[in-house]
Amino acid sequence: MDQNDSSRISHQSAVFADGLALDCGQILPSLTVAYRTYGQLNAAKSNAVLICHALTGDQYVGETHPLTGRGPWWDMVVGPGKPVDTEKYFVICANVLGGCMGTTGPMDARAPGAAPWGTDFPPITIRDMVRAQKKLIDHLGIARLFAVVGGSMGGMQVLEWAATFPQMVFAAVPIATAAYHSAQNIAFNEVGRQAIFADPDFNAGQYYATGRVPSGGLGVARMVAHITYLSEEALSRKFGRKMQGRAAPAQALALFGDMFQVESYLQHQGSTFVRRFDANSYLTITRAMDYYDLAAEHNGDISRAFAGTRTRFCVISFSSDWLFPTRESRAIARALNKAAANVSFVEIESDKGHDAFLLDEPDLRRVLAGFLGGCAQHAGLEPSDA
Amino acid sequence: MDQNDSSRISHQSAVFADGLALDCGQILPSLTVAYRTYGQLNAAKSNAVLICHALTGDQYVGETHPLTGRGPWWDMVVGPGKPVDTEKYFVICANVLGGCMGTTGPMDARAPGAAPWGTDFPPITIRDMVRAQKKLIDHLGIARLFAVVGGSMGGMQVLEWAATFPQMVFAAVPIATAAYHSAQNIAFNEVGRQAIFADPDFNAGQYYATGRVPSGGLGVARMVAHITYLSEEALSRKFGRKMQGRAAPAQALALFGDMFQVESYLQHQGSTFVRRFDANSYLTITRAMDYYDLAAEHNGDISRAFAGTRTRFCVISFSSDWLFPTRESRAIARALNKAAANVSFVEIESDKGHDAFLLDEPDLRRVLAGFLGGCAQHAGLEPSDA
């Protein structure tokens, strides 16, 4: 397979010629932010909702994906009549900084006509991602976002938005996330990175000109990550010990091949992923997640990140999520309470694991619709029930 | 690095020229079982304890390892005055079938003077491992083992011993194990296998003559497995978000390198492992674990595996073990109860995860010493307290 298909399509984007100053001290000389919008911005520019995507997501939150042909990635949440209702709200979703769907990242040329950044792309942080989004929001002439909503790494961005630009966030919904990346999560990310490094096609990150990509390593990285997105219950229910088109184990003993359905499923996840994602972006973005530590940015106390905040928060976790377990969401809610913030905390019962935030969870839809509806009244977007 | 160092040392072993008939239908033409013993077999040959090792363990349970120079792997449990007391018991530990420390496995020549088996080594099962051990026990002239003890994959062997040769097992102690491998465990094993396959030095399993081994892939396999051996709590306590000899993240942003201590630790685990373990053995043994399904071997009912058993069982789990969670040990205990077996079930409180069975857990030592002491009285090995 040659290089990531994403480089072949053009994405709607905004270009910021003044670049972006990064937490690491380096300055990106030019910044492109690729994004999509859905619905209409009202005259007061007060109905904008920013959706922040997760590690392997992108800006195509509410439409068919131009590369994969798959449906909108948050179809349960974003669209006409859905909790993030595109008939009421102006929905914005941008590819994150460091990504590979049009926003500036390691696939891009370091300078016009030069070779791609590759692994020389500067290390970035979740806050850098948010700063890039802030430029887009300013560019769109929006002074205050009605809401910022996201799950997993998207939830980290939601927290960072509320901490860094509090006056610009009326409501914030961090879902299935944490205020820092745990040792276990860093460890799983590191396995993925080592798998990429071990692939000879990685070629020290300069594979773009070779006609080959480190698909083996990136596929393994995706496989291990995918296991962490599911609960043990979900895997057991979905696959159990079912064999792949064969009889019982005793009759079908063979050393290799996708004997168990769960193996075939994971291999499929790995091989489809490498067609739409860039390995250097994977390295850059997982690193940003690992660095994320909101408390460390605020003298060791998460609550200081939210001192004096007027943002309304709805913190949501899922009971079977072991990647970002409920206790980490509860810690966020506790810090918000300590900061005297307006906060709701909901743990949704689900056996689907971390992925639940992307799946058909009626309770998630109900909580989101209820919270955003209430906030819309307070923001004067909807007539009050009273 | 050239081939696995294990091939350079000689191991104490027994050779069975009649080979071994395997579950897959193939017959190994010759079988070597490498083993170690500790303590003295009594005149009645009634004091033998067989220790079954886990995936990456070996026969050097009670002495310094000849390759790594590290201490005995079950130092907390096996030795003079310890729960498996080598002053009372004759302790036997054999390298498993398919292993790489002297017992017949993929590293061995298919026939005298021929090339190594590599990936052509027949697929084996946990029951095949037990059959190989049975040949050794017969060879040592032991009609009945006083006890069979093992954790993780060792516990699978314990269950299989009790199910297959019930008259030969007076007491059985399956620790931190299950009666089948779950979908999640199969999935983690598959990630490791795919990492090995993706390594170009794997060379379709015939790397022995190339002077290179798939150390990158095997290292990644070890890293992902190692995460599953630890609890989130243990990783957090041990490493948290501590950086590797650097200042706070904001001052030390860098894309690569072992930034976090947990990364450095995992990389070390991976790189030391490849020096002592063979990739084809890893493939063969993980496959055997995946196939393991005691219920499937007995018409879908674990309790039938133990019908009429007179063996005394002590089933032990650890509260923070998420690889072989307590519910799976409880299912074993329930099946044994259904079979009217003599069974104790103990869940030990620990925050160390699956690895707890190898670590200093005073409760594990107490439970083991108490259970084996009681059984020794019943077996007539020790004077009764009464």
Q: Find, among A94, A112, A93, A111, the residue nearest to A103 by Cα.
A: A94
Nearest CB to A23 within list B119, B198, B253: B253
Question: Where residue A338 sits, what CATH number does that domain have?
Answer: 3.40.50.1820
Q: What residues in B contact A256, CB-CB < 8 Å?
A: 119, 193, 283
Residue A8's pLDDT is what? 67
Q: What residues in A contact B125, CB-CB < 8 Å?
A: 253
Nearest CB to B293 within list A119, A195, A241: A241
Q: Is B111 a residue whose pLDDT tops 60? A: yes
Arithmetic mean of pLDDT, B170-195:
96
The distance of B51 to chain A (nearest Cα, Å) reads 26
CB spacing of B183 vs A256 below 8 angstroms? no
Q: Answer yes or no: do A131 and A49 share one domain.
A: yes
Residue in the block written with tokens 């396999």? B221
Q: What residues in A contact B190, CB-CB < 8 Å?
A: 223, 260, 262-263, 266-267
Residue B36 lies in a domain: yes
Distance in angstroms (rounded) separating the CA atoms of residues A152 and A213: 27
The distance of B81 to chain A (nearest Cα, Å) reads 37
The distance of A179 to chain B (nearest Cα, Å) reads 12
Q: Answer yes or no: do B233 and B151 share one domain.
A: no
Q: Find, among B3, B2, B72, B6, the residue nearest to B36 by Cα.
A: B72
Q: Answer yes or no: do A197 and A247 share one domain.
A: yes
- Residues B244-269: tens digit of each pLDDT: 655 444 444 555 655 788 888 888 88
Query: Is A30 a known active-site residue?
Result: no
- Share above pLDDT 70 across residues of chain B, in percent, rounded to a whole number: 93
Query: Is A199 a known active-site residue?
Result: no
Q: Which domain holds residue B40?
A: 5-183+295-378
Distance in angstroms (rounded) separating the CA atoms of residues A82 and A89: 11
**B202 DSSP 8-state letter:** G
Q: What residues in B contact A290, CB-CB < 8 Å?
A: 259-260
CB spacing of A195 vs B220 below 8 angstroms? yes
Residue in the block written with tokens 């966030």? A169
Provide the pLDDT confidence category of residue B7 given band limits of 50, 70 and 90: low
CB spacing of B266 vs A227 below 8 angstroms? no
**B109 DSSP 8-state letter:** B
- Taking the CA atoms of residue B41, residue B44, residue B46 and residue B51 in that order, the dihedral angle to the nearest 10 degrees is 20
Q: Which of B181, B212, B227 to probe the A interface (max A CBs under 10 A)?
A: B227
CA B169 to chain centre: 18
Q: Find, among A97, A89, A92, A51, the residue nearest to A358 by Cα.
A: A51
Distance in angstroms (rounded) separating the CA atoms of residues A278 and A102: 12
The distance of A287 to chain B (nearest Cα, Å) reads 7
CA B238 to chain centre: 24
Arithmetic mean of pLDDT, B154-164:
98
Maximal C-alpha separation, chain B: 69
- Selected catalytic residue, list A199, A278, A321, A355: A321
Bridge partners for B27 per DSSP: B21
Residue B35's pLDDT is what? 98
- Active-site residues of B, by number, are 152, 321, 354
Arithmetic mean of pLDDT, B301-320:
97
Bridge partners for A345 per DSSP: A315
CB spacing of A184 vs B236 below 8 angstroms? yes
Residue in the block written with tokens 């079912």? A242
- Residues A145-177: tens digit of each pLDDT: 999 999 999 999 999 999 999 999 999 999 999
Identity of the residue numbered B316: I
Question: What mean pLDDT is reported for chain A?
Answer: 92
Nearest CB to B227 within list A181, A191, A253: A191
Q: Answer yes or no: do B319 and B359 share one domain.
A: yes
Taking the CB of residue A112, how many other CB atoms lie within 10 A of it? 7
Phi, psi of B222, deg, nearest 5: -65, -40
- Selected catalytic residue, list A152, A215, A317, A320: A152
Distance in angstroms (rounded) separating the CA atoms of residues B323 and A93: 38
**B123 DSSP 8-state letter:** P
Q: Answer yes or no: do B36 and B97 share one domain.
A: yes
Distant-in-sequence, close-in-space partners of B79: CB < 8 Å, separation ≥ 6: B38, B62, B72, B85, B86
- Share above pLDDT 90 across residues of chain B, in percent, rounded to a whole number: 84
Q: Answer yes or no: do B124 and B218 share one domain.
A: no
Region of residue B133 (phi > 0: left; psi between -120 and 50: alpha; otherwise: beta):
alpha
- Residues A21-52: tens digit of each pLDDT: 999 999 999 999 999 999 999 999 999 999 99
CB spacing of B220 vs A253 below 8 angstroms? no
Residue B125 lies in a domain: yes
Q: Is B1 a residue whose pLDDT tops 60? A: no
**Complete DSSP assignment for A136-162:** HHHHTT-SSEEEEEEETHHHHHHHHHH
Nearest CB to B220 within list A198, A249, A287: A198
CB spacing of A256 vs B283 below 8 angstroms? yes
Total residues belonging to chain A: 386
CB spacing of B186 vs A263 below 8 angstroms? yes
Residue B385 lies in a domain: no
Residue B386 lies in a domain: no
| Structure-block tokens of residue A343 | 């906060």
CB spacing of B223 vs A194 below 8 angstroms? yes
Nearest CB to B183 within list A122, A235, A256: A235
Q: What residues in A contact B355, CB-CB < 8 Å?
A: none
**B18 DSSP 8-state letter:** T
CB spacing of A250 vs B283 below 8 angstroms? no
Give the CA distances from residue A47 to residues A41, A88, A136, A171, B37, in Å, rounded to whole numbers and listed in that order.
6, 7, 16, 11, 75
Nearest CB to A255 within list B119, B238, B248: B119
Q: Answer yes or no: do A155 and A202 share one domain.
A: no
- The residue among A286, A308, A332 that closes a domain is A286
Q: Give exposure, A51-79, as e/b (b: 16+ Cβ within 10 Å).
A: bbbbbbbbbbbbbebebeeeebbbebbbb
Angle at CA of residue A178, ends A176 and A183, nearest 5°: 115
Arithmetic mean of pLDDT, B299-312:
95
Q: Find, among B85, B99, B208, the residue nearest to B146 by Cα.
A: B85
The distance of B351 to chain A (nearest Cα, Å) reads 14
CB spacing of A291 vs B253 below 8 angstroms? yes
Distance in angstroms (rounded) separating the CA atoms of residues A189 and A287: 8
Question: Where residue B231 sits, what CATH number does that domain have?
Answer: 1.10.1740.110
Q: Is B87 a residue whose pLDDT tops 90? A: yes
Alpha helix segments (H runs only) across chain B: 126-139, 153-164, 183-198, 215-229, 232-238, 249-252, 261-276, 279-291, 326-338, 362-378
The distance of B107 to chain A (nearest Cα, Å) reads 15
**Complete DSSP assignment for A281-335:** HHHHHHHHHHH-BTTGGGTT-HHHHTTT---EEEEEEETT-SSS-HHHHHHHHHH
Q: Specify the 3-state DSSP secondary structure of B253.
A: coil
User: Exposed (0-12), middle (13-18) or buried (19+): which is B318, by Cβ within 10 Å?
Assistant: buried
The distance of A209 to chain B (nearest Cα, Å) reads 20
Q: Answer yes or no: do A178 and A194 share one domain.
A: no
Q: Answer yes or no: do A115 and A229 share one domain.
A: no
Nearest CB to A182 within list B236, B250, B293: B236
- The residue among B247, B262, B285 that closes a domain is B285
User: Exposed (0-12), middle (13-18) or buried (19+): which is A140, by Cβ within 10 Å?
Assistant: middle
Residue A9's pLDDT is what? 76
CB spacing of B260 vs A188 below 8 angstroms? no
Question: What mean pLDDT is reported for chain B?
Answer: 92
Q: Is B163 a residue whose pLDDT tops 50? A: yes
Arithmetic mean of pLDDT, B368-376:
97
Residue B274 lies in a domain: yes
Q: Answer yes or no: do B157 and B212 share one domain.
A: no
Spell out, as residue ranges, where chain A has pLDDT lower than 70: 1-8, 244-258, 384-386
Q: Answer yes or no: do B15 and B47 share one domain.
A: yes
Distance in angstroms (rounded) separating the CA atoms of residues A350 and A342: 26
Residue A385 lies in a domain: no
Distance in angstroms (rounded) separating the CA atoms of residues A171 and A89: 13
Residue B251's pLDDT is what? 42
Distance in angstroms (rounded) separating the CA atoms of residues B297 and B132: 18
Residue A384 lies in a domain: no
Q: Specify the 3-state DSSP secondary structure of A25.
A: coil
| Structure-block tokens of residue B8 | 């350079």
Residue A33 lies in a domain: yes
Distance in angstroms (rounded) separating the CA atoms of residues A313 and A151: 14
CB spacing of B184 vs A235 below 8 angstroms? yes
Q: Is B208 a residue whose pLDDT tops 90? A: yes
Q: What angle do helix axes B215-229 and B279-291 make, rounded to 10 degrees?
A: 40
Domain count of chain A?
A: 2
- Residues B335-350: tens digit of each pLDDT: 999 999 999 999 999 9
Nearest CB to A262 within list B187, B263, B287: B187
- The residue among B267, B285, B303 that closes a domain is B285
Distance in angstroms (rounded) separating the CA atoms of residues A179 and A177: 7
Residue A1's pLDDT is what? 35
Q: What residues in A contact B287, CB-CB < 8 Å?
A: 255
Q: What residues in B contact A220, CB-CB < 8 Å?
A: 191, 194-195, 198, 220
Alpha-carbon Rg for chain B in angstroms: 21
The distance of B180 to chain A (nearest Cα, Å) reads 9
| Structure-block tokens of residue B286 | 């993980």
Q: What residues in B contact A205, CB-CB < 8 Å?
A: none
Q: Answer yes or no: do A163 and A190 share one domain.
A: no
Q: What residues in A contact B186, CB-CB < 8 Å?
A: 241, 260, 262-263
